[in-house]
Amino acid sequence: MTYFFDGSKDAFLTAFLLAYRDEDAFLTAGSRQLALGQQSVFVCADTQKARKCEARLRGFDTACMHDLDMLLRSGEDARGQIAFLYFRLIAARRRAVRGELAEDAVSEAIGCIRRVALEAHRLKGFVRFMECAGGALYAPISPDNDVCDLLLPHFRARLPQLPFVLHDVRRAKAAVWDGAHAFTAPLARADVVLSADEEGWQALWRRYYASVNIPSRRRLQQMKGYMPVRYWKFLPECPAQTADALTTQNASPARCADAPLPPHGSAR
């Protein structure tokens, strides 16, 4: 039987209770092509059942809800099933199984959690804020996994006096620090007026980026290994262009076509 759920924690836990004894259970938070005659059910979150299930699982492994939170943030289609198999093993063994990496269910789940954590970690570096006219900072991101609120505490600790918005344009949501409160909110579109100096600082940054590169060493593969191309879209330093323009060393690096935002532009 295929169990569809909406990707939320409570719906997962409700589905888990239903599917636990089903040998052929398949949990998914996405859409799935069903084979002819295959049975499926849409599971809605049932808070009471979810709390009961959570308490049981916590009894086996106190830290397992953190794992679940990370797994459900994953952008992978298989996340529902990966989480299901992992939690079924916890329930079967009645203990934490995190270290049992020789088990498929565990290595899959831990791998998935690591990929989510890695992306959050990378974005701590790759987020680029733009300064708005009022002094607030705005950064569009488009992560593979649902991590924008994981970044909030990090930036809040270092920029306590500056309001900022981390805008996940892919999921149309934002993590916001307004100088006093941190929260997430749906955000389809933000109209942003940039500060007078923003363009100037971006130009200086592009200049800096181009001049610290050592053109005689070309290691593009290595560069892309550390900083996958899918993150380049929002980087004002325009890595693709610097990589191409290496031959004309002293030419001022121009703004690239898909640079984050034109002044007074908007992100969708």
Partner 1 sequence: MFDFFAETCYTVAMIAEETLRILTESAKYDVSCSSSGSGRRNAGGIGNGMPDGCCHSFTPDGRCVSLLKILLSNDCVFDCKYCMSRRSVDVPRATATPEEICELTVDFYKRNYIEGLFLSSAVHVSPDATMEQLVRTVRLLRTKYRFFGYVHVKGIPKADPLLVTEAAKYADRMSYNLELPSESSLKLLAPQKDKASLLAPMKQLQRERAVFRAEKRRGSLLPAGQTTQMIVGASPERDGHILRLAERLYRATGLKRVYFSSYTPVVQDGLLPCVQSPAIREHRLYQADWLLRFYGFDADELLPAEEDLPPDIDPKCAWALRNLHLFPVEVNRAPLETLLRVPGIGARSAQNILSARRYTALSFEHLKKMRVVLKRARHFITANGKFYGAGDMRTVRGLLAAGECAAGARQLSLFDAEAALTARTGEV
DSSP 41: E
Give the residue with the Cβ less far from partner 1, 212 or 257.
212
Q: Which tokens sit at 239?
A: 């890595």
Closest approach of partner 1 to the CB of residue 40, in Å: 30
> Within 126-145, which residues bind partner 1 (CB under 8 A)?
126-139
Q: Does 157 bind partner 1 (CB under 8 A)?
A: yes
Selected range binding partner 1 among 18-26, 62-70, 80-88, 103-111, rule: CB under 8 A: 103-111
Amino acid at 177: W
Nearer to partner 1 (CB atom), residue 42 or residue 208: 208
Q: Residue 242 Cβ, how far from partner 1 at the closest point, in Å?
A: 6
Cross-strand bridge partners of residue 130: 138
Nearest distance in Å: CB 200, partner 1: 6
DSSP per-residue letters across 69-108: HHHHH---TTHHHHHHHHHHHHHHHTS--TT-TTSHHHHH
Q: Are 72 and 87 spatial neighbours (Cβ–Cβ below 8 Å)?
A: no
Calculate the CA 52 to chain-centre distance. Answer: 29
Among 158, 247, 257, 268, binds partner 1 (CB under 8 A): 158
- Among residues 3, 145, 242, 259, the one that binds partner 1 under rule CB under 8 A: 242
118 binds partner 1 (CB under 8 A): no
Q: Provide the token pair at 268.
A: 């969708």
Running DSSP on this structure, what letter comes out for residue 34? P
- Report, in Å, the least distance between residue 159 CB and partner 1: 6
Closest CA to 41 of 65, 24, 56, 54: 24
H-state helical runs in 166-218: 198-212
> What is the nearest approach in angstroms of partner 1 to the Cβ of residue 2?
26
Any contact of residue 159 with partner 1 (CB under 8 A)? yes
The Cα–Cα gap between 52 and 44 comes to: 15
Q: Which of 239, 256, 259, 267 binds partner 1 (CB under 8 A)?
A: 239
Q: CA-to-CA distance for 204 and 123, rounded, in angstroms?
A: 22
**Of residues 161-220, those binding partner 1 (CB under 8 A):** 161-163, 165, 176, 178-179, 185, 190-193, 195-197, 200-201, 203-205, 207-209, 211-220
Contacts with partner 1: how many residues (CB under 8 A)?
74
Instruction: Please answer whether residues 256 and 136 qualify as being in contact, where contact means their C-beta atoms are separated by less than 8 angstroms.
Output: no
The dihedrals phi and psi of 42, each to the nearest 5 degrees, come to -95, 120
Query: What distance in Å separates the CA atoms of residue 231 and residue 234, rounded to the nearest whole number?
Result: 7
Q: Which of 38, 40, 107, 248 is close enough to bind partner 1 by CB under 8 A?
A: 107
Q: How far is the CB of 185 from partner 1 (least distance, A)?
A: 7
Tally of CB atoms within 10 A around 5: 26
Touching partner 1, residues 61-100 (CB under 8 A): 99-100
